[in-house]
Structure 1
Amino acid sequence: MSKEDHVHMRKPITIGAAIKRRRQALGWTLQRVCDETGGALYTGYLSEVEKGKSMPSVDKAHAIATVLGTTIDQLIDEGASASTPQAPREHATRAPVVPWDQAAQWAQEPDISGLPSGTPWEVPLDSKSPRGFFLRLSDESMHAPAGPAFPNGSLIFVDPDLEHQVNDFVVGYDSDPTAPTFKKIVKHGTQSYLQALNPQFPAIQINGNFRVIGVVIGMTMRTSRGLIR
């Protein structure tokens, strides 16, 4: 073989070992990675990828990289150099979609072990809060016919570290921390209210017992066949 042939030879691209190192660094099982991708792959296939017996397609590699908080390029670099996982080149921190009855508890003391199996994790909005989390809306109370609207099925991002002010959208509870509500804080005279954006829902007067869990700073949603997923 000539020297020129050596120059043009490239090592085969492998990312299995890099995927396995990142997965183990997170303390995740094969099933956890598959669950986080939303069912884009299954454990037997992922195991084959990690062993280098199979190379994932671009869409599957992207799904794996995303849930592991990195990029395909970095997985390739780490696979080629056998280096330890590095910080991603793009913002890839993720926050969980917390059940409503766990929102208050998560805001006070985040504990991944307390989340249900298969909890989705999403890229958060503009927030540096380590306690930030998503909630999935399950009613139409904040879906307005005009102006700001939060449709049923969408995800709202809650920042527990922001101090709420009048006209903020907040998640909070009155007496039961396992039954929080999502509303806008408004003020009329000296009295504050929780206002739904949907005019069919009445405003609720705030008493001294209401506790704000966090301020809602944005919303995200995915659609499929005309439905919000």
Structure 2
Amino acid sequence: MKNINLQIAERLKAARSALGLSQRELAEKCGWESQSRVGNYELGTRKISAEDAVTLASALGISPGELMFGNESDKVYVQRSYPVVGKVSAGPWQEAIEPERIRDIEHWEETTKRVSDDSFWLEVDGDSMTSDKGITFPKGMLILVDPKANHEPGSYVIAKLTEENSVTFKKFVIEGGEPYLVPLNNDYKTIPVKRDCKFIGVVKDMAWNESL
């Protein structure tokens, strides 16, 4: 299986080619002086930062999630807005976030991903989902959570430890037949999935919090 950087590189090149853009033209649309950044991204030799992923996706007319996650079933279709309901820890277990009443929420963020009407945005708070390689979710980034989506190995999920009323953001994996919540930052420990762990939703898109 190709590494994550090469998978993202292929999606980037395909999206650029579909628009008939050269690397230089795409770089100009992104506001970059040199095409070398695009070239390195398409070779997979340079990791795409979260900020550049948002910039590239905007220039290509796709969502950052489609570029980084590459879910072929989630093609761009209609731009819709969903509420930003709070923060979620990307570190140790934190107190659960109880969504506010929809009409009282002032901050809404747009997406072109195909998600359920019950979807919402959360702001990443912590550094356990940051990585020097492949996908990274730095503190302050917004993630779009679809509570109706089914999680599977490799999904980025919001999970709740029901007995402690606490939530976390991690990658769901199966190792040795056992389920785990895995951080992208190696400084943090893997969390075994126990019976009292409930999956709140699956991350479908990401964006920078422009209100910061």
Taking structure 2 as the reference length, what is the TM-score of the superposition?
Answer: 0.54
Query: Is residue 94 from structure 1 mapped to residue 105 from structure 2 by the alignment?
Result: no
Higher relative contact order (CA 8 A, sep 6+): 2
- Residue pairs, 1:51-90, within 5 angstroms: none
Q: Is the 8 A contact 2:143 2:207 kept in 1?
A: yes
In the TM superposition, what whole-angstrom CA distance separates every residue of 1:54-104 from its partner, at most 9, and x where no partner exists? xxxxxxxxxxxxxxxxxxxxxxxxxxxxxxxxxxxx94421011124675x
Consecutive unaligned residues of structure 1, counting only runs of 5 or more, are 1-89
Residue aligning to 1:181: 168
Query: Is residue 112 from structure 1 mapped to residue 102 from structure 2 by the alignment?
Result: yes
User: Is the alpha carbon distance of 1:91 and 1:167 closer, same or farther for their aligned partners in structure 2, counting shifts above 3 Å?
Assistant: closer
CA distance in 2, matches of 1:176, 1:154: 28
Consecutive unaligned residues of structure 2, counting only runs of 5 or more, are 1-76, 88-94
- 2:150 pairs, out of 156, 159, 163, with 163
Q: Is the 8 A contact 1:127 1:159 kept in 2?
A: no
In the TM superposition, what whole-angstrom CA distance separates every residue of 1:17-59 from its partner, at most 9, and x where no partner exists? xxxxxxxxxxxxxxxxxxxxxxxxxxxxxxxxxxxxxxxxxxx
- Residue pairs, 1:139-154, within 5 angstroms: 139-154=126-141
Residue aligning to 2:111: 124
SS in 1 for 2:194: coil
User: Is the alpha carbon distance of 1:178 and 1:188 closer, same or farther for their aligned partners in structure 2, counting shifts above 3 Å?
Assistant: same
Q: Report the CA distance between 1:125 and its aligned residue.
A: 4.2
User: Is the alpha carbon distance of 1:151 and 1:167 closer, same or farther for their aligned partners in structure 2, counting shifts above 3 Å?
Assistant: same
CA distance in 1, matches of 2:78, 2:151: 26
- 1:220 pairs, out of 186, 207, 212, with 207
Max Rg structure:
1
Residue aligning to 1:206: 193
Q: Percent identity?
A: 29
* Aligned-residue CA RMSD (Å): 2.5
Q: Report the CA distance between 1:139 and its aligned residue.
A: 0.7
Between Structure 1 and Structure 2, which shows a larger proportion of strand residues?
A: 2
CA distance in 2, matches of 1:196, 1:137: 13
CA distance in 1, matches of 2:197, 2:112: 26
Matched letter for residue 102 of structure 2: I
Matched letter for residue 127 of structure 1: R
User: Is the alpha carbon distance of 1:176 and 1:134 closer, same or farther for their aligned partners in structure 2, counting shifts above 3 Å?
Assistant: farther
Taking structure 1 as the reference length, what is the TM-score of the superposition?
Answer: 0.51
Q: Report the CA distance between 1:124 and its aligned residue.
A: 2.6
Q: Report the CA distance between 1:145 and its aligned residue.
A: 1.1
